[in-house]
Structure 1
Amino acid sequence: MFPLERQKKIIDLLTIKKVLKISELTDKLNVSVDTLRRDLNLLTKQGKIEKIYGGVKIVESKFGESAIDERMISHLEEKESIARTCSEWINDGDCIFIDSGSTTYQIAKYIKNKKNLTVVTNSIPVITELMNTDVELIIIGGKIRKNEQSVVTFDYLFNFNELNILKAFICTSGITLERGISDYNVEEALTRKKIIERSKEIYVAADSTKFGKDVTIAIAPIEQINYIITDENVNKDLINEFRHTNTELIISE
């Protein structure tokens, strides 16, 4: 394995587990301690990891949204579980919207065999995942947001008024009962606002770490969300609180 490959593997492992011992990394990478230390020294200088006693930990961004590549492997088991549950709400013949994001991307993996399904999306990874299937694909025209691999600033090319979406599966960076759902990027938020307006049913797909966060840009109040699908690690007190709202909280297994 080349040094760059090892270093990427180290980041991938730390993105999942956050903290690893030196002995764990040497076992997983099958390298000597000296080789590992050279990699760790470089990653530390780059500000990607931090050395702690007996091991290392990932340096997480204190501000804003982490990159899509990091989120694709972070909390992956929970996101796959959420996506499987979302797919159970998608029927043959539906016209659905799949949002850009690491959780909604996973939905594409579970709907490839649906019959007469139309998917509207602004996610390039979703398009790639469904390209060689029988799913009818409509991509929103606009500007490419490269770091998120999504299409935004929809008013360039796309007429949303022509859409007739039955179910929209939306991502979010924050969920609170008081403020609803929110995101870091204004263009993503505007696209989601417009999709919510044009869709009959709104599903928010979000892992349990998103609850209790109210980030930069408000997207929609809880009253506009029909369903929130999350993982079983969600705070049990929240489950009771959602029973007093019109939004159904669905726990994936």
Structure 2
Amino acid sequence: MLPLERQKKIIDLLTVRKVMKLTELTEELQVSIETLRRDMNLLTRQGKIEKIYGGVKLAQSTFGESMIEERMFSQLREKEVIAQKCSEYIHDGDCIYIDSGSTTYQLAKYIKQKKKLTVITNSIPVVNELLHSEIELLIIGGKVRQNEQSIVAFDYLFNFSELNIAKAFICASGITIEKGISDYNLEEANTRKKIIELSQQVYVAADSTKFGKDVTIGIAPLDKIDYIITDDHLHQDFISSFQGTGTHLILS
């Protein structure tokens, strides 16, 4: 197993088990304690894990956005049903954009059988998921955000004006009636703004915990969003408030 694969496995295990002893990790990974300590030292310097007495745990996010590895497992059932509902709006021959994020990543799993589908994305996990399918993949060029496993765009590296996107599936960390959708990272927000401008229809895929939050960077007001697809745990107050907007709220 390569070091990067081993380090990802450590994060995956800690996401599920929360805390693990060193002996448990060496058994799971089939490596020596010296090799494990090298991986742990690197992950600690990257701020991904914390060493505790006799073991290790995921680093706690003190503010802002949690790591993509952690979000891949949180609210997983809700994200899967949201992604499955999103897939119903994707048809053979479509050209779509799939955003970086743990919810939109799930969407890639449900579209592999679509015919003559073109997927534009900035998500490395989405690319990996679709790499061996028959879907035509276009990945935008720019800077890699390692913690988010995404690529944030630079105009001089990618010609956005050439894109003809029928449907964009966007993530958001916050959704309010007053401010629309928002996120924590400026570069991710700028990429999403460009994609929203170019897309014929815009779908926001977000679980119900994102509603009522207005986080660091505004992305777009609700009048730029055609559909928001969320889970059925959304509070009735939010459902009622959306009836006066032009954005269609879809519960999965």
TM-score interval for Structure 1 and Structure 2 normalised by the shorter chain: 0.7 to 0.9
Q: Is 1:148 aligned to residue 152 of structure 2?
A: no
Q: Is 1:124 aligned to residue 124 of structure 2?
A: yes
**What is the TM-score when the length of structure 1 is the normalising length?**
0.79
Alpha-carbon spacing, 1:9–1:125, altered in 2? closer, same or farther (3 Å): closer
Whole-angstrom CA distance in 1 between matches of 2:16 and 2:137:
31
Partner of 2:33 in structure 1? none
Cα shift at 1:11: 3.9
Whole-angstrom CA distance in 1 between matches of 2:91 and 2:246:
23
**What is the TM-score when the length of structure 2 is the normalising length?**
0.80
Q: Is 1:207 aligned to residue 211 of structure 2?
A: no
Whole-angstrom CA distance in 2 between matches of 1:75 and 1:173:
13
Whole-angstrom CA distance in 2 between matches of 1:245 and 1:72:
31
**Post-superposition CA distance 1:76-108 (Å, at most 9, x none):** 110000000000000001000000000000000
Gaps of 5+ in 1: 16-41, 50-57
SS of the residue corresponding to residue 72 of structure 2 reads helix
Q: How does 1:178-197 map to 2 (within 5 A)?
A: 178-197=178-197
SS of the residue corresponding to residue 219 of structure 2 reads strand
SS of the residue corresponding to residue 144 of structure 1 reads strand
SS of the residue corresponding to residue 84 of structure 2 reads helix
**Post-superposition CA distance 1:158-212 (Å, at most 9, x none):** 0000000000000011000000000000000000000000000000000011011
Q: Give the conservation status (yes or no) of the 8 Å contact 2:98–2:122.
A: yes
Whole-angstrom CA distance in 2 between matches of 1:10 and 1:145:
22
Q: How does 1:13-24 map to 2 (within 5 A)?
A: 13-14=17-18
- Amino acid in the other structure paired with 1:105: Y
Aligned alpha-carbon RMSD (Å): 2.5
Q: Give the conservation status (yes or no) of the 8 Å contact 1:168–1:195.
A: yes
Whole-angstrom CA distance in 2 between matches of 1:9 and 1:144:
24
SS of the residue corresponding to residue 156 of structure 1 reads coil
Runs of 4+ aligned residues of structure 1 deviating over 2 Å after TM superposition are 4-11, 42-49, 58-62
Q: Give the conservation status (yes or no) of the 8 Å contact 2:119–2:137.
A: yes
Partner of 1:34 in structure 2? none
Identity, in percent, stands at 63
SS of the residue corresponding to residue 73 of structure 1 reads coil
Partner of 1:12 in structure 2? 16
Give the paired residue count. Answer: 217
Partner of 2:79 in structure 1? 79
Q: Is 1:168 aligned to residue 172 of structure 2?
A: no
Alpha-carbon spacing, 1:223–1:134, altered in 2? closer, same or farther (3 Å): same
Whole-angstrom CA distance in 2 between matches of 1:139 and 1:128:
11
Cα shift at 1:59: 7.3
Q: Give the conservation status (yes or no) of the 8 Å contact 1:230–1:250.
A: yes
SS of the residue corresponding to residue 190 of structure 1 reads helix
Partner of 1:158 in structure 2? 158
Alpha-carbon spacing, 1:167–1:11, altered in 2? closer, same or farther (3 Å): closer
Gaps of 5+ in 2: 1-6, 20-49
**Post-superposition CA distance 1:54-75 (Å, at most 9, x none):** xxxx874231100000001111
